[in-house]
Structure 1
Amino acid sequence: MAPNPADMGIIYPTGDIAFKVLLSARFCAAIWSHITDCDETFNYWEPTHYLLFGKGFQTWEYSPDYALRSYMYLLIHVIPAWAYHKLLQPNRLLIFYFTRCLLGLLCAACEVYFYKSVCREFGVQIGRVTLAFMVFGAGMFISSTAFLPSTFSMYMCLVSMGAWFHRKYELAVFTTALSAFLSWPFAALLGVPIAIDMVFYRKEVFKFVQWSCISTAIVLIPMVKMDSSYFGRLVVAPYNIIHYNIFSHGPDLYGTESWTFYFINGFLNFNFAFIGALLMPFLLILVWGLVPSKPRHAGCLPYVLSLLPLYLWMAVFFFQPHKEERFLFPAYPLVCLCGAVAVDCVQKLCYRFALPRPRQRSGSAPRHYLHSTAPLLAVAVAVCAALGVARALALYNGYHAPLDVFMELNSLNAEYNMASKKTINVCMGKEWHRFPSSFFLPGDNWQLQFLQSEFRGQLPKPFSSQHNGTAIIPSHMNNLNKEEPSRYFDVNQCHFLVDLDLGVETEREPNYSQQKNQWTIHKSIPFLNAAKSHQFFRAFYVPYFSNLYCTYASYNLLISSKLKFLNVENSGTKR
């Protein structure tokens, strides 16, 4: 529907090149991105570890009393991980990264489909800028390989929007339903403009109803059957999560944020592309009113409709008291698209009003605005890309320590041959929420234990070891985030302790690293002390200056002096 780019001399990546670039970026995320949300660990990685190895932590959402989460969603990740485990017998750490790389592969494939559809619907100019924002956006780096329903909904958003722009309405409806039922019911909001197009613009009411019913039957019936089998009773997980979030005050128990939260988060993750996405409707109005242009192809969707999904998402989630970064994941590709449209609008306005108009030779074709504003485009993409990479580097440098510390346990296990039946307790207090998952524990005889801290909410507990553990109602479990003292472990029984040394302590959070007679620091890795670091240089990594203006604490792996089978004195402190 867009003009042939070859006729205008526009250079843009082909689908093959776009896939290679995107896949490289996603594999980087799979390897270097840290786990940004403890919900990812305890609600998804831990139940997956349990399904694979019969051991893992359970949150109240998986109690049969509440049944908010779906085992069907877990199984689509478990099956390839199980096949990899059975075929190659890798250690569990490799299964973690194998799963992440598969997520990166799936994300890249969905992004390419979306990119090609944007080129078709909006033209290759907007398509190539969208691609650049997706490749270099820190938000895509964070979300692309996260094991979260909101990430799966982002994949389905890429496919459903791509199918819609290709006028493949059946696929658009099915992937919207798949996203809503299998991962996150609220993701159906992104499909509202598709429904409006089918019902009110195209008058295809029967097709919409037909495919809605087909999609519901294909997805929901096996999902209910599978989940009911695991929970031991009839369960419709999408209904349960809607009921909990809308008809109770449950979500607010986990904290509320200021109205500025998503604006700050959006700028950190997409910098000026996010600002462009916010301003895009106003820029588009200015272009319509001030810049003469040829009418769009009659087959194109109206801008008001095709760009509506992002603003519907913002209108709903920006005004919710309970805010989390992952709630915006499904709409991240749309931020890239709307940011690219904003860049195109600025180019047209600058060409019309700010740049000198070159003289046209008699009989020659008028110069295209893209040629005259190419430097502006290059600067916009370069600045956004540089800030995106700087943000990703800042996240890695500041917060990768927990993964590295738990990797060290695997090295210790191999070095000292701890693969025995004796239980080895790895303890965490205030750092419980940074536990990367049981995939980082070397074996079944290694057990994570929780110590008291200033956190007064409910901690997860291990799944039952019985064969039908998913159907057993766990004791001492509530849906009010009330503290459960039964979760706490005796620190004197800990063999290893993982703790962040910020130089402060309370009664419930002693500074274990300074208890030299009880603990030896085996490994210490720098971890960003955000409270004592410059706001800009902690958010975006700038060589030399970030090290100068940021303060780092020590993220320590401590070994108990009572651990007789390790030569602690000779192990030394590794950095």
Structure 2
Amino acid sequence: MAASSNDSNMRQRFKPPANAPKASDKQQQQQQQFRPQPPKTPPFQLNPRIAFAVLFAAHAAAALYHPIQDCDETFNYWEPTHYLTHGHGFQTWEYSPEYAIRSWAYVGLHALVTLPVKLLGLGKLAEFYFLRLVLGFVCALCEARLFSKINAALNPRIGLTFLLVMATSPGMWHASISYLPSSFAMYFVTLGIAGFMDWRGGLRTAQGIWMFGVAGTLGWPFAAALSAPFLLEEFSMGVLSDEEGMVKLFWRVVDGITRTLLIMFMQTMADAFFYKKTQIVPWNIVAYNIFSSKGGPDLYGTEPWHFYLRNLALNFHVWFLLALISMPLLVLQHTFRMKGNTRASYFRSITFLSPFYLWLAIFTLQPHKEERFMYPAYPALAVNAAVSLHIILGNVNSTDPKDFVARIPFQLRLGGLFLFCLASFVLSGLRIAGTITAYNAPLNVYKPLHNDSAISAAAKLDDFVCLGKEWYRFPSHYFLPEGVRAKFIKSEFSGLLPGEFSEAGSGFGLFPGAWLIPPGMNDENIEDVGKYTEVKHCTYIVDSQLPSTEATTLEPSYTNDEGTWERAGCQSFLDGFSTTVLGRTLWVPDLPFVPERMKRVWGEYCLLKRKRKASPERERVMGHAVRSMNMQQLLSVKAVPYVLLALAALALVVKYFQDKQHRSAARPRSPDPEKPTDVNTFAEKRMKDSERKLGTWTPSTFKRPEAVPYPDWSVIDTKPLPYRPFRWGPYHITMGLRSMNWDEWIELDNNYLRYHEDKARRIAERGAKCCRTDPDPKVWDAAVELLEELSAYLTERYPSMFTKTDVGIDNTVTNESFNIPELTMNGNKEDPMQLCARLVQDDLAIMIEKEDGQYYLLAGAILLAGFWRLEDKFGMCMSEIHTSGDVPGFKSKLEKGMMNFFRRVKPESPVLRNNYFMQVDDSLPWSHSIGSEDAQDGIGWYTAEKNRAIKHHFFRSERQSLRRLPRSGGVVFTIRTYFLPVTELAEEPYVPGRLASAVRSWGDDVAKYKGREQYQDVLLEFLDKKHEEQVAGGLDLSKEEEVRAYPW
């Protein structure tokens, strides 16, 4: 406590210049400037270990009971940690490698902390609370260190007040255990302040810089700004010192910066491991928040300038007021009394008090404000408040008869101090209790999934817990049993929700979700409808029922829908809109003497469970499964000999015709797809429904036969195959399937470069609107499997254009190199379906079976479809795709057979089908005659100009292949479109007459679907005329079947 000890520290800090006053003179100057009154007895000093115990006890209680206050904590930190430790979780756009403004090094460090609990098998909830307790433990250690340095460098009374603020303030109650970079930065800011404050045994500039550096790299970059006052003090002292002092200062600074750069290097290496490319995340954060040209963080809301004043008053009440007046009190103390009760010089005191003011000024000026942005400055606030109280107490305890306060009885002064401390304790307790009792329901509502034996037994793999309007209160997947997933359903919220980390399987290395670019992400908070799940797929729903909230179409009251949902568990939840400001701010007891208007108003926060009853669709599918199984058993017992004979006869017939036909451009004749077809005539065979559960697939060992190189294929000379898939009337609505020769899976011709150019242009212009893969790992694996299958097939079938590489495939014509493990084309990472699209002329779609037995379009590259858009159909089931497009006869003639076929198709049994359309413009990718591709409505044949000249009429012929992928079980459509003018088509023998007959034979529903009314007059007149010319020219109609057998 002697002044000389402080002076000794000052002497260690710098050497005075030769012409400076003597040390004794300078010492006297400092003592006169700021000397505390020597106490009669040594001041009480609390042992730092006891201080640590007090702090940790407070933080441990917060870890166990305090709710998560910010959805950013859940989705940006708890969920990525859950992905690292449990293989799945929600992913925000910040983790997309395109933006990379979140550090995997930071998340990975915390994931390692949870591993011991996971290895012990204590459950995910134990992992969650263990990590929270560890955060509280680390925070207490940092605070205890600063507490000990305050005792040594300033005054034990300041240390005690600092301890009181940190242990009892509502702000520290949640900041200490929040899993946020701002809390992490707060820990190291605390150590940084301690480092600059501790002069014993020499200056610790390097240590202080290092601690602030860790706060700014692994934590939050802006936290480094809090070091500015301390560095300014260092440089000021260096200027006043001699050359030796400047050299020592230089090397201390270099030491601190070197340590920081080492941490940043290790962080960058860790992030590069996850992102698969070099990312300096701290810089990315700064660039987004300061230099973003798209609105940056302001897109997520702005607040008035006084936001932080109100927020800090709530979280620190009287301590915040004391922190605000600390600098004025110090100035007044120095100016009018020339004495103080701290050991530090006036200059040092200003240094210690400046960080809080600096931080508050910087963030008050920012439009986007959030409570957590203040966390790094909380230790500085506590120091300021403690210094203020110390100055006030020094004057209150004055015994100088000249002071007015000395005339007040000591007991009265002591009583005032007691009331002040009591008020701080009461305000803190009421605020903390109010927050816990009002808002901790999200931490408790999921307990029935773990504790209630009936419900926890029912919760099973692939059950969905759906989040609508309560999405932002979801505490993370750590609160759900293993295998149960959270999903989003549409609510009134119209911003961008998190997606899901990819769970791609083998061949992708560790944590592919960290480096695979997720679909539908953007940094403009633009909604992506692909993030939503339909309510019908939800097993559970989390819903709130508040008196002030009215149900809407998008946010109905699921709680009141007792016919569908039953309550698995409900918790009381404060209705903030109906409760007064006092009730929202503090705990108000629900006792009779409390006025009704002052009481808190409550609602319910519920976990709802779907009542177990089979949906009509599921009953229909399962009923069909039973009937199919019975038929299979009947065949196996009574009809085996007949089936074997029939198959043998069919094999002989097929072999006979295969031997006679030429295997080049001419294709084998096939069953007529315009006639009703028995699926038992295909190469695909019935698969017993009992063999696998709906929505599951056991990988098959089937390997596609190696393709025979296409004879004399050339990207310049090989012409498109002349598919003419129409017949003389009548017209039949059928699936029209026929078996496929494996060599003929993908067809390429001399239009390849044109198609490739069209696709590349549309990928650049429309991106995910045309090419997209659902992030579900099962879907992603299917898309990658398709890419692998295409790469293998193309190098075999078209070796003059495609070359196999160690990592994928090269296109030697377009000079494109595809890396399958990294999902890149010429080094640029892309969606796997987009990469597939660049390889072939076809459009591509993958249908995935879900647990309802329906097949859903969850991966697609639809670039040249002409009449439909991927963004309209993505995520729809097969039935909805067809009914939403008013496909003729789907419900009455196609749906049942299509569902049966998709359920039973085997990997070894690919099929083909053909289709055709007329178009009255020359655009292959999109028929502009039916409306703009970007129009939300008003698209249809009714917008097309009627009876345009024949030169505008074009014929679209589609060749579709369908096959099941053996590893993932996805069913792949390839849709190859052939496009040519009708005027050119009509020159071919037999075609105009047959096409005219086919168009006339369409029923009214088909005619409407294909837009016949808009072009029939001109088209049919032209075709009839060309047919008459051919007949007049000697065309022998009796030989058509020999010349143009279907589908040619």
TM-score by shorter chain over 0.5: yes
Match for residue 475 of structure 1?
A: 519
1:10 CA displacement: 3.8
Alpha-carbon distance in structure 1 between the residues aligned to 2:419 and 2:456: 54
- In the alignment, is the contact (CA less than 8 A) between 2:448 and 2:455 conserved in 1? no
Of 605, 612, 622, which residue of structure 2 is paired with 1:562? 612
Q: Matches of residues 345-356 of structure 1 in structure 2 within 5 Å?
A: 345-351=391-397, 353-356=403-406
1:538 CA displacement: 2.1
Task: Tell me which amino acid in the other structure corresponds to 1:55.
Answer: H
Is the alpha carbon distance of 1:488 and 1:153 closer, same or farther for their aligned partners in structure 2, counting shifts above 3 Å?
Answer: same
Residue deviations 1:448-476, cap 9 Å, x none?
11111111110001100024221100011
Where do 5+ consecutive residues of structure 1 fail to align?
Answer: 360-368, 565-575
Matched position secondary structure for 1:161: helix
1:227 CA displacement: 0.4
Matched position secondary structure for 1:558: strand
Is the alpha carbon distance of 1:405 and 1:429 closer, same or farther for their aligned partners in structure 2, counting shifts above 3 Å?
Answer: same
- In the alignment, is the contact (CA less than 8 A) between 1:150 and 1:329 conserved in 2? yes
Of 178, 184, 193, which residue of structure 1 is paired with 2:220? 184
Residue deviations 1:103-147, cap 9 Å, x none?
011011111001111122220111111111111100000100000
Alpha-carbon distance in structure 1 between the residues aligned to 2:472 and 2:583: 25
Is the alpha carbon distance of 1:376 and 1:343 closer, same or farther for their aligned partners in structure 2, counting shifts above 3 Å?
Answer: farther
Of 160, 172, 192, which residue of structure 2 is paired with 1:128? 160
Alpha-carbon distance in structure 2 between the residues aligned to 1:93 and 1:311: 39
Alpha-carbon distance in structure 2 between the residues aligned to 1:434 and 1:75: 24
- In the alignment, is the contact (CA less than 8 A) between 2:341 and 2:391 conserved in 1? no
Residue 268 of structure 2 is aligned to residue 236 of structure 1: no
Task: Tell me which amino acid in the other structure corresponds to 1:211.
Answer: D
Q: Matches of residues 89-168 of structure 1 in structure 2 within 5 Å?
A: 89-167=121-199, 168=204
Match for residue 463 of structure 2?
A: 424
Residue deviations 1:284-317, cap 9 Å, x none?
2222233352696477862111211111101101
Match for residue 63 of structure 2?
A: 30
Alpha-carbon distance in structure 1 between the residues aligned to 2:520 and 2:384: 47
- In the alignment, is the contact (CA less than 8 A) between 2:571 and 2:606 conserved in 1? yes
Q: Matches of residues 249-328 of structure 1 in structure 2 within 5 Å?
A: 249-293=295-339, 297=343, 302-328=348-374
**Bigger RCO of structures 1 and 2 (CA < 8 A, at least 6 apart):** 1
Matched position secondary structure for 1:307: helix
Alpha-carbon distance in structure 2 between the residues aligned to 1:299 and 1:276: 20
Is the alpha carbon distance of 1:414 and 1:93 closer, same or farther for their aligned partners in structure 2, counting shifts above 3 Å?
Answer: farther
- In the alignment, is the contact (CA less than 8 A) between 2:326 and 2:384 conserved in 1? yes
RMSD over aligned CA atoms reads 2.4
Task: Tell me which amino acid in the other structure corresponds to 1:556.
Answer: C
Match for residue 77 of structure 2?
A: 44
Matched position secondary structure for 1:550: coil
Residue deviations 1:167-189, cap 9 Å, x none?
32221111111111111100001
Of 50, 54, 62, which residue of structure 2 is paired with 1:21? 54
1:209 CA displacement: 3.4
Alpha-carbon distance in structure 2 between the residues aligned to 1:176 and 1:461: 34
Task: Tell me which amino acid in the other structure corresponds to 1:557.
Answer: L
1:244 CA displacement: 0.2
- In the alignment, is the contact (CA less than 8 A) between 1:495 and 1:563 conserved in 2? no
Alpha-carbon distance in structure 2 between the residues aligned to 1:330 and 1:414: 45
- In the alignment, is the contact (CA less than 8 A) between 1:406 and 1:441 conserved in 2? yes
1:346 CA displacement: 2.5
1:347 CA displacement: 2.6
* Fraction of identical pairs, as percent: 35
Deviates more, 1:4-13 or 1:94-103: 4-13
Deviates more, 1:196-205 or 1:307-316: 196-205
1:84 CA displacement: 2.5
Match for residue 502 of structure 2?
A: 464
Residue deviations 1:515-557, cap 9 Å, x none?
1211112322111111111211321114344995110111111
Alpha-carbon distance in structure 2 between the residues aligned to 1:161 and 1:372: 36
Alpha-carbon distance in structure 2 between the residues aligned to 1:140 and 1:63: 32
1:349 CA displacement: 4.1
Matched position secondary structure for 2:450: helix
Alpha-carbon distance in structure 1 between the residues aligned to 2:538 and 2:341: 71
Is the alpha carbon distance of 1:357 and 1:12 closer, same or farther for their aligned partners in structure 2, counting shifts above 3 Å?
Answer: farther
Alpha-carbon distance in structure 1 between the residues aligned to 2:38 and 2:302: 47
Residue deviations 1:342-362, cap 9 Å, x none?
222223444564423499xxx
Q: Matches of residues 197-208 of structure 1 in structure 2 within 5 Å?
A: 197-202=233-238, 203=246, 204-208=248-252
- In the alignment, is the contact (CA less than 8 A) between 1:133 and 1:381 conserved in 2? no
Match for residue 100 of structure 2?
A: 67
Match for residue 549 of structure 1?
A: 599
Matched position secondary structure for 2:604: strand
Alpha-carbon distance in structure 2 between the residues aligned to 1:292 and 1:171: 33
Task: Tell me which amino acid in the other structure corresponds to 1:283.
Answer: L
Alpha-carbon distance in structure 1 between the residues aligned to 2:78 and 2:558: 28
Alpha-carbon distance in structure 1 between the residues aligned to 2:65 and 2:169: 15
Is the alpha carbon distance of 1:84 and 1:4 closer, same or farther for their aligned partners in structure 2, counting shifts above 3 Å?
Answer: farther
Match for residue 531 of structure 2?
A: 487
Alpha-carbon distance in structure 1 between the residues aligned to 2:102 and 2:172: 24
Alpha-carbon distance in structure 2 between the residues aligned to 1:292 and 1:199: 26
Residue 466 of structure 2 is aligned to residue 441 of structure 1: no
Match for residue 429 of structure 2?
A: 389
Residue deviations 1:53-74, cap 9 Å, x none?
1111100000000000111111
Residue 502 of structure 2 is aligned to residue 452 of structure 1: no
Alpha-carbon distance in structure 2 between the residues aligned to 1:223 and 1:455: 35
Residue 384 of structure 2 is aligned to residue 338 of structure 1: yes
- In the alignment, is the contact (CA less than 8 A) between 2:540 and 2:607 conserved in 1? yes
Residue 175 of structure 2 is aligned to residue 175 of structure 1: no
Alpha-carbon distance in structure 1 between the residues aligned to 2:153 and 2:146: 10
Alpha-carbon distance in structure 1 between the residues aligned to 2:573 and 2:78: 23
Is the alpha carbon distance of 1:414 and 1:213 closer, same or farther for their aligned partners in structure 2, counting shifts above 3 Å?
Answer: farther
Residue deviations 1:84-109, cap 9 Å, x none?
311x1111010000000000110111
Residue deviations 1:409-451, cap 9 Å, x none?
2224675424644x1110111100000000001112x111111
Matched position secondary structure for 1:35: coil
Alpha-carbon distance in structure 2 between the residues aligned to 1:396 and 1:383: 20
1:341 CA displacement: 1.5
Q: Matches of residues 207-222 of structure 1 in structure 2 within 5 Å?
A: 207-222=251-266
Task: Tell me which amino acid in the other structure corresponds to 1:379.
Answer: L
Residue deviations 1:460-506, cap 9 Å, x none?
01100024221100011111001111111111121111111124111
Aligned length: 552
Question: Is the helix fraction higher in 1 or 2?
Answer: 1
Alpha-carbon distance in structure 2 between the residues aligned to 1:95 and 1:496: 23
- In the alignment, is the contact (CA less than 8 A) between 2:323 and 2:385 conserved in 1? yes
Residue deviations 1:373-398, cap 9 Å, x none?
54443332221122111111010000
Alpha-carbon distance in structure 2 between the residues aligned to 1:313 and 1:5: 35
Is the alpha carbon distance of 1:541 and 1:8 closer, same or farther for their aligned partners in structure 2, counting shifts above 3 Å?
Answer: farther
Is the alpha carbon distance of 1:189 and 1:283 closer, same or farther for their aligned partners in structure 2, counting shifts above 3 Å?
Answer: same
- In the alignment, is the contact (CA less than 8 A) between 2:154 and 2:343 conserved in 1? no
Is the alpha carbon distance of 1:524 and 1:442 closer, same or farther for their aligned partners in structure 2, counting shifts above 3 Å?
Answer: same
Deviates more, 1:207-216 or 1:554-563: 207-216
